[in-house]
Amino acid sequence: MKTVVTSGKSGAFSAVHPAAAMVYFLAVLLISMFCFHPVLQVEMLVGAALFCITLQKRGEALREIGFYLPLFLMVAVTNPLFSHNGVTPLFFLNGNPVTLEALLYGVSLAVSVIGVLLWCKCCGRVMTEDKFLYLFGKLIPKLSLILSMALRFVPVYLRQSRRVIRARKAMGLFSGKGITDRVKNRMRVFVAMISWSLEHAMETSASMRARGYGQKGRTNFSLFRFSPADGVLLCGCVFLLAVVWIGRAAGFAAFSYYPRTGGIGAAPADLAVYAAFGLLSLLPFLLEVKEVIVWSCCVSKI
Amino acid sequence: MKKDILAVFGIVLILAVLINGTHIQSVDEYYLTHIDDITPESETVTLSIRCDAVLQHYDELDPALRSEEFVPPDGVILPPTKYVLREGDTVFQILDRAVRSNRIQMEFQGAEENPFGSVYIQGIHYLYEFSCGPLSGWMYRVDGEFPHYGCSRYKLHDGQNIEWIYTCDLGQDAGALWMGGEE
Amino acid sequence: MELLRVEDLSFRYPNAGRNALDGIDLTVQNGEFVLLCGPSGCGKTTLLQMLKKELAPAGEKTGRIFYAGAPQEDSADAGEIGFVRQDPESQIVTDKVWHELAFGLENMGVPTDTIRRRVGEMAGFFGIEGWFRQKTDELSGGQKQLLNLAAVLVMQPKLLILDEPTGQLDPIAAADFITTLQKINRELGLTVLLAEHRLEEIFPIVDRVLVMEDGRIRADDEPQHIAARLTAISPDHPMLRALPAAVRVWQEVRGKGECPLTVKEGRDFLHRHFTGSDAPRPEPEDPEKGDFAVELKNVWFRYEKDAPDILRGVTAKIRRGEIFCLLGGNGAGKTTALNVIAGLERAYRGKIVIKGKPIRSYQGNSLYRRNLAFLPQNPQTVFVRDTLRADLAEIPETMGIPKSEQADRIGQMANRLGIASLLERHPYDLSGGEQQKCALAKVLLSEPKILLLDEPTKGLDAFAKQGLREILRELKREGITLLLVTHDVEFAAETADRCAFLFDGEILSVDSPRRFFAGNSFYTTAASRMARGLWPDAVTCEQVVACCRAEESRTGRKTDFPAEGKL
């Protein structure tokens, strides 16, 4: 298990094809945001926490607790102050009851908020900028090239603009006296940067033409390859999502907090929904564990 | 970023405490309400709380409430009962006294928290607005008429009859023809 | 086999007074490595662009270009001819290295699996694996230019055209780039046509050299014979000054036989014919004295609190009215040191004294008025207006000089630097050398006593460098103190009064150029490396030639060089 923690930033799940990863995150987030069943919520939180741990260093995870714990308490306590429903009043605050049910609902909300935050964090770590760009590119090929060019241009522009400002500063042109002077100066730099940008764009477009840009039948290359394993993962996600969704639509794995907290269903269909979502939310962690086991087997064989 | 999120929640929490106030009562303290005894010379009003409409729209009711514990089979939560009218009593004060003495759950929004400038009854006996379809909620009738203003602004007179009725379609099932609201 | 043939090609830009290209005849054989050189503005770039139809400028064209036997118009594939230009920055299109490599193939509609293989192959050949997934913005200038080359080669061109590809690189990155070109030519048999200013490394490895002048090809021969060809046109042909040190020395002393090209060959040549017995006395050591324009006392600097130190206790004294060159490799902190002196960065420890006053005591803009001026590395950054005149006028305006006098001052400055004819032009339309002169004019309008220059020779050809040197000497005569930061050891050896070597944030040695370069064994000029062992003090070509002449006249031997075979 130690290796799981030290595996650092990019876990096994980062190698998954962006499309499969995106579908996975959407599925988990969808369920996390709309299900307040305690079993599903615990699964969701545990899955998110384990996934997060595989994606970051140990110290980082510890420091995070300092953020999530107060957040948890605050969300949990806030709800009963606003909602007074529930059959078990604990005490009355200015004539309105503060109930056990509202407190439990608050706890559930807090779990949900923190779980969704953690999942989003994992999503941010796994779905890097270039993966999003790739997904966009699949939908709108032109857009992905434009985005890529924009991402290239922005730092170059900023650097040049800084250079111009420094050059002007060293010529004593940034007098710093009076706002009008400063605004005028900034405007001059900005106008100059527009002509510079045009100049730069001309050069870049020459480079593009020289490499055959503008011909028909342009392809879109990316480093990502959709492997059979990605296919299995994608189908698995869709299947598990369908099980949870259909099960819930049929009224299984339902739970209510008001006015009295209901019971946790234990019918076979309920259990199937729990199992499906449990598998779904633990998937990245399981992949990571598998990776570690395979790795240590390999090492031990050498 | 993280500090901002914590700060936002902290502020919400503080606001919630400020709005709710700090007047804390234990459960028994809250329900320990003095009900004046009725004497021949005391002025009285009659109060009843009913939810018959729910029985007609049972399929629309929140599944968590579908039990006799929350919806009495005859629709009567409080049968017509006489209460002594104190000087300057409003519909809300009578209701408040009645639910406390009968230990009926009630949640309301204070007059300062809503734009009507009157107390708004959100739920009685776990039946809340929208618990039974999107047009459902509590309304009141005094001597057969639906007043056009809030229950904490309606001053009562001797012998008046107040009915709190749960509606499932903005009051039409209770016979209120104006499309305003429940108060 | 003939890959490219140009027949009587002439070209004139719209509204131009004369032809940019005038009757060019040229053939390039398959597998050849051809160098195209000539002064700026001789038409090199125009010729190279004409050869690639996608880049051909608009204008009047006569004559024909054949590519692989067929007229240029009929050839289809943009990938057949690869083109790399000078500025590494503006040629990069996308944000990731792998995407940049794939860009050309994507345009050709190559299937993604083939792209994957070819991109991988190219990355392996160029040693790009280490930064394959990086952002293009994070690369060094040398890496960027290498990426531009790889991004062109991945399209498997038959002909590679490069227009001054090393102009913006530091000497080490430039040498790496040229080594890569040589590898491509030798190992892949790719035909290369290269325009270049900096000839020291490239000259010995090419098969053929073309010298252009005023839109014509004046010489077309193997590198060994180019000096003779040029001498035949005119004994002091300006292009001779741009040739490698070995060729220059050989040509100046009227050497016979095989012309040496490399330092090694030049060294052999000198040792064969000279004894070096009358080496001039070494210059006396020169005590630190006089009054100083700039003093650095134990200056420490870092960009951020947690970042490593860039300057670690730099101490230097720059005399009033001298030309001081600060040399050093990439990342040694040269530019940072200059920025600290210019007041653009603040040292966290140590003292900087400008004209006897600590830099912090200069209030507001007083440091930049009649005191200190700074010419940035990229002269373009100095200009923000639509005409050069408006740009120049900015300085006298802020100095509060009356309107009537402003025009006079600008006119005088323009005449002095020979840019009067450019005043109404847009600054961006000027050539690199012109831009630099104009930028210099602008910073000089603040009447500085101290002038700081950051890499002033970057991208300049030998003639522009010569011009710059004359301007700097002129400024020195006027009493201006000049502080240069440069990679260019040749320029420093010929221009500086004193040189300093900055390494790892410290100044390791300060001396006159003769003593400075004679004391270095690696970090020195080609002339010095050639003459080592004969005249250790001779560090420029002129000095080596002077030593040769002195020895000739002493021995009374009008050196009659035997042909190589008779030795």
Extended beta strands in C164-204, E state: 191-195
Could you please report the per-residue DSSP string of chain B? -HHHHHHHHHHHHHHHHHHH-S-EE-HHHHH----PPP-TTS-EEEEEEE-HHHHHTGGGB-GGG-STTTS-TTSEEEEEEEEEPPTT-BHHHHHHHHHHHTT--EEEE-GGGSTTSS-EEEEETTEETTBBBTT-EEEEEETTB--SS-TTS-B--TT-EEEEEEESSTTGGGT--S-S---
**Residue of C103, C430, C445 to mutate when probing chain A, most A C-beta within 10 A:** C103
Indicate the pairing of strand A96-99 with strand B24-25: unpaired
**pLDDT(A8) > 50:** no
Average pLDDT rounded to a whole number, residues A131-148: 82
- Find the residue in A nearest to B18 (Cα): A81
Could you tell me if A103 and A121 are in contact, meaning their C-beta atoms sit under 8 angstroms apart?
no
What is the Cα–Cα distance from A86 to A77, expressed in whole angstroms? 15
Query: Alpha carbon B159 to chain centroid distance?
Result: 21
- Tell me what the mean pLDDT of segment A239-247 comes to: 93
Q: Which residues of A13-35 are buried (b: 16+ CB within 10 A; e: fewer)?
A: bbebbbbbbbbbbebbbebbeeb
Phi, psi of C83 (to 5 degrees): -135, 125
Which of the residues A207, A215, A223, A225 would you substitute to probe the C interface, choosing the one with the greatest number of C C-beta atoms within 10 Å?
A207
* B43 within domain boundaries: yes
Query: Hey, what amino acid is at B3?
Result: K
Number of Cβ within a 10 Å radius of residue A45: 20
DSSP characters over A5-67: HHT-S--GGGGS-HHHHHHHHHHHHHHHHH---HHHHHHHHHHHHHHHHHHS-HHHHHHHHHH
Q: Do chains A and B touch (3 or more CB pairs under 8 A)?
A: yes
C272 SS3 class: helix
Residues C97, A223: Cα–Cα separation, whole Å: 11
| Helix intervals (H) in C108-157 | 112-126, 141-153
Phi, psi of C15 (to 5 degrees): 65, 15
Write down the pLDDT at residue A6. Answer: 34
C440 vs A198: CA distance, rounded Å: 24
Q: How many residues does chain B have?
A: 183
Cα–Cα distance measured from residue A105 to residue B85, given in angstroms and rounded to the nearest whole number: 39
Give the integer Cα–Cα distance in Å for C132 and C96.
8
Taking alpha carbons only, the member of A287, A120, C330 closest to residue B1 is A120
pLDDT at residue A242 greater than cutoff 60: yes
**Chains A and C: 3 or more CB pairs within 8 Å of each other:** yes
CB contact under 8 A, A70 and B6: yes
Q: Which pair of structure tokens corresponds to residue C127?
A: 């040693």
- Residue range A76-100: average pLDDT? 85
Contacts of C376 in chain A (CB under 8 A): 163, 166-167, 170
Question: What Å distances lie between residue B150 and B91, B116, B170, C71, C481, CA to CA?
Answer: 9, 7, 15, 93, 88
Put simply, the answer to whether A92 touches B126 (Cβ < 8 Å) is no
CA angle (C167 as vertex; C165, C171 as ends), nearest 5? 105
Tracing tokens 């057969």 back to the chain, one arrives at: B144
Find, among C467, C500, C470, the residue nearest to C483 by Cα: C500
Instruction: Enumerate the residues of chain B whose CB falls inside 8 A of the CB of residue A87.
Output: 105, 126
Is any Cβ of chain B less than 8 angstroms from the Cβ of A200? no
Pairing of strands C450-454, C481-486: parallel
Task: Let me know if residue B160 belongs to a domain.
Answer: yes
pLDDT of residue C307: 87
User: How does DSSP classify residue C567?
Assistant: -
Residues of C in contact with A191 (CB under 8 A): 384
Cβ-Cβ contacts under 8 Å, A158 against chain C: none
| C135 secondary structure, DSSP code | B
Which helix (H) or strand (E) is C311 found in, with range?
Answer: strand C311-319
Question: Residues C274, C277, C283, CA angle at the centre, nearest 5°?
Answer: 115
Q: Residue B183: inside a domain, yes or no?
A: no
State the total domains in chain B: 1
Chain A residues touching B108 at Cβ < 8 A? 95-96
B179 within some domain: no
**pLDDT for A7:** 36
Asked if residue B178 belongs to a domain, the reply is no
Q: What is the CATH number of the domain that holds B151?
A: 2.170.130.30
The residue range of the domain holding B47 is: 2-167
- Is B65–A90 a contact, with Cβ atoms under 8 angstroms apart? no
**pLDDT (tens digit, 9 = 90+) per residue, C108-118?**
999 989 999 99
Strand ranges for A150-239 from DSSP E? none
What pLDDT sits at residue C166?
92
Q: Is the pLDDT of residue A88 over 90?
A: no
Interface with chain A: mutation pick from C98, C345, C384, highest number of A CBs within 10 Å: C384
- In the sheet with A89-93, reading across from the earlier edge strand, the strands are A96-99, A89-93, B24-25
Q: Which residues of A touch B123 (CB under 8 A)?
A: 85
With an 8 Å Cβ cutoff, are A89 and B17 in contact? no
Q: Is B63 on the interface with A (CB under 8 A)?
A: yes
Contact C443 A171 (CB under 8 A): yes
Cα-Cα-Cα-Cα torsion A101, A103, A108, A114, nearest 10 degrees, comes to: 170
Tell me whether residues A260 and B108 touch, CB distance under 8 A.
no
> What CA–CA distance (Å, rounded) separates C562 from C255?
9
In a domain, B153, yes or no: yes
- State whether A81 and B17 contact (CB < 8 Å): yes
Check residues A253 and A108 and name the one with the higher pLDDT.
A108
CB A31 within 8 A of CB A47: no
Q: Does A78 touch chain B (CB under 8 A)?
A: yes
**Whole-number pLDDT of residue C489:** 92
Please, how many CA atoms are within 13 Å of residue C79, restricted to the half-sphere of its CB? 16
Q: How far apart are CA C384 and CA C395, in angstroms?
A: 12
Residue C294, H or E segment: strand C292-301
Q: What is the pLDDT of residue A218?
A: 85
Report the alpha-carbon distance of residue C160 to residue C152 in Å, rounded: 8
CA nearest A274: which of A43, A6, A33? A43
d(CA A44, CA A37): 10
> What single-letter DSSP state applies at residue A235?
H
Would the CB atoms of B64 and A259 count as touching at under 8 Å?
yes
List beta partners, residue B133: B131
What are the counts of helices (DSSP H) followed by strands (DSSP E) for chain A?
A: 10, 2
Which residues touch C385 (CB under 8 Å, ≥6 apart)? A188, A192, C391, C394, C427
Q: A91 vs B24: CB contact, 8 Å cut-off? A: yes
Q: Is B176 part of any domain?
A: no
Q: Which is more confident, C252 or A175?
A: C252
Chains A, C: CB pairs < 8 Å: 161
Q: How far is A64 from chain B (nearest CA, A)?
A: 10
Other CB atoms within a 10 A radius of the CB of residue C209 amount to 22
**What is the C-alpha to C-alpha distance for residues C178 and C192, in angstroms, rounded to an integer?**
11
Contacts of B159 (CB under 8 A, 6+ apart): B43, B44, B45
Q: Is A76 helix (H, G, I), strand (E, B) or coil?
A: helix
Residue A28 to residue A277: CA distance in whole angstroms: 8
Which H helix or E strand runs over A178?
none
Structure tokens at C250: 């050989």
Considering the domain boundaries, does residue B177 fall inside one? no
Torsion angle of C-alpha atoms C305, C311, C317, C322, degrees rounded to 10: -120
CA distance B162 to B92: 10
pTM over 0.80, yes/no: no
Quote the pLDDT of residue C563.
Answer: 43
Distance CA C41, CA C374 (A): 27
Q: What is the mean pLDDT of chain A?
A: 86
Low-confidence ranges of chain C (pLDDT < 70): 76, 278-288, 556-567
Q: Check whether B178 has a pLDDT greater than 80.
A: no
Please say whether the beta carbons of C143 and C174 come within 8 A: no
Residues of A in contact with C370 (CB under 8 A): none
Nearby residues of C71 by Cβ (< 8 Å), 6 or more positions away: C64, C65
Nearest-Cα distance to chain A for B8, in Å, is 10
- CB-nearest partner of A211 from C107, C339, C398: C107
